[in-house]
Structure 1
Amino acid sequence: MPDVIFNGPEGRLEGRYHHSKAPNAPIALVLHPHPQQGGTMNNKVVYALHHVFSRRGFSVMRFNFRGVGRSQGVFDNGQGELSDAAAALDWLQSVNPDAGHCWVAGFSFGAWIGMQLLMRRPEISGFVAVAPPANRQDFTFLAPCPSSGLIVHGDKDEIVPEAAVAKLAAKLSAQKTITVDHTVIPGATHFFTDHLEPLAAAVDAYLAANPDRIR
């Protein structure tokens, strides 16, 4: 899995990229949790998501937001990180100009950034939001949510209450033009310790069930 360095809004950003051998393969961008709380592209949940997409034939990249690892810049409370994600998607699309579909996935803070990116980039045809911080961040910008997707949460999450995520999922599911699946992993905490396999299985099953947004 080669390291990549690409230009971001505030300097160089580093990532890890897997290129699919399939022609016109779909692309996926995976976003990591909060930079000021230890979040990096090597987070175990982020790695698990990256691996699921690559196994499903995607060209997929995860990267470090500004100020994390070798990525230049400083934390910008979400605004700059959204610009970083847009730059990463630009890079991913430049390497895969014939990609049929585009997905975004994120964990915690990364899910919040990913959902904002979804609103700005109409070419995104699917999303995966793992433990979106519905109790800490405002998701009202999803009015309406432009794409169908999957929300995954653990019922033992000690940081984001299950009720907050269920309320968000129900609100999005009420929209008529999209379908939002909500999967709860029994026994899983916020970081899915000892529950990475059920998480990966849930995401893989969702991708398998939606071939029209992959091929």
Structure 2
Amino acid sequence: MPSETIFLESCHDKTSIETRVTFNNNHDSTFPVPGVILAHPYGPLGGNMRNNVIIALHNYFSSKGFITAWCGHSKGRTSWTGMPERGDYEAVIQHLKTSFPQKLSHLIIGGYSFGSMIAASLRPQENDLSIPYSYLLISYPLNVRWALSTVRSSFFSSQVNQLLRTTENDSNNDNNNTNNNKVLVLYGDHDQFTGVRSYQNWLKYAGQHVESVIIPGADHFWFEYENTLVTKVHDWVTRTFQ
């Protein structure tokens, strides 16, 4: 499928951000498909759109015919709060909704490592609940979140907890778009930054809309486990979009 590189203005500070979008030009507009946004790991530690996990996911989703977007270089500096990066991906979401209004049936907000922290904080606007959201969180940096978002750590903590947990009010509110959508949490049992017990304690209060999968042998970086990762994502996608 063809890809195009465009430059968008971040919703945070109007910084120019490189964005690559892959889609099928010949796709029948009367037959909508899901869109996927992939947020990459932390820039100062080498995270970018050429990351092995992001590439593997991009190749998978584009092969399925999904409209797939990811961010590249930005003219701004990497923050220590995560908020500018969040604004970058808000701009990508707006672009997909504007550019493919008849083609989007669903939106998967995906992220790996730092990117999963950003992804879990993104929500539909209150006046735009027409497209359902689902979330793909890979190697969420639970135990080092404080180092990646400093003074905004509590914000990202509350956002992901809201996403994962279903309260009595949520279950009784048919208009609550957050908890009606599916979430997949994937992590390896050799993750160097967050141990298995931390993940399990964190996820024990998750709602029924959340599925968690642990990959034996995989660490935080997923080298040589990319195919296993994609297989688990494929299983979830098949169940979610049947």
The TM tier, using the shorter chain, reads: 0.7 to 0.9
Give the counterpart of 1:3 among 1, 5, 11.
5
Counterpart for residue 100 of structure 1: 105
Asked whether 1:152 is paired with 2:186, we answer yes
RMSD over aligned CA atoms reads: 1.9
Structure 2 CA distance for aligned equivalents of residues 33 and 22 of structure 1: 34
Counterpart for residue 47 of structure 1: 55
**Cα gap change, 1:142 to 1:159, in 2 (>3 Å):** closer
Counterpart for residue 19 of structure 1: 23
Structure 1 CA distance for aligned equivalents of residues 198 and 89 of structure 2: 25
Structure 2 CA distance for aligned equivalents of residues 19 and 124 of structure 1: 19
**Cα gap change, 1:211 to 1:41, in 2 (>3 Å):** same
Counterpart for residue 135 of structure 2: 127
Deviation at 1:95, TM superposition (A): 1.4
Give the counterpart of 2:41 among 33, 44, 53.
33
Unpaired stretches in structure 1, ≥5 consecutive residues: none
Instruction: Give CA-to-partner distance per residue, 1:26-80, whole Å, 9 cap, x none.
Output: 211100001111110111101112222222221010113xxxx3x1111222011
AA in 2 matched with 1:7: E
Structure 2 CA distance for aligned equivalents of residues 131 and 142 of structure 1: 13
Structure 1 CA distance for aligned equivalents of residues 204 and 49 of structure 2: 29
Determine what percentage of the aligned residue pairs are the same residue: 23
Scaled by the length of structure 2, the TM-score of the pair is 0.77
**Residues 186-195 or 8-17, more deviating:** 8-17
Asked whether 1:204 is paired with 2:204, we answer no
Deviation at 1:209, TM superposition (A): 1.0
Instruction: Give CA-to-partner distance per residue, 1:132-184, whole Å, 9 cap, x none.
Output: 01112252334532232101101111122222222232222xx3xx5111111
**Residues 3-12 or 109-118, more deviating:** 3-12
Scaled by the length of structure 1, the TM-score of the pair is 0.86
**Residues 195-204 or 22-31, more deviating:** 22-31
Structure 2 CA distance for aligned equivalents of residues 2 and 119 of structure 1: 25
Q: Is the 8 A contact 1:6 1:12 kept in 2?
A: yes
Match of 2:16, SS state, is: strand
Unpaired stretches in structure 2, ≥5 consecutive residues: 146-153, 164-177
Counterpart for residue 141 of structure 1: 159
Counterpart for residue 200 of structure 2: 166
Counterpart for residue 183 of structure 1: 213
Which consecutive aligned stretches of 4+ in structure 1 deviate over 4 angstroms post-superposition?
119-124
Structure 1 CA distance for aligned equivalents of residues 39 and 109 of structure 2: 8
Match of 1:181, SS state, is: strand
Counterpart for residue 112 of structure 1: 117
Structure 1 CA distance for aligned equivalents of residues 117 and 7 of structure 2: 24
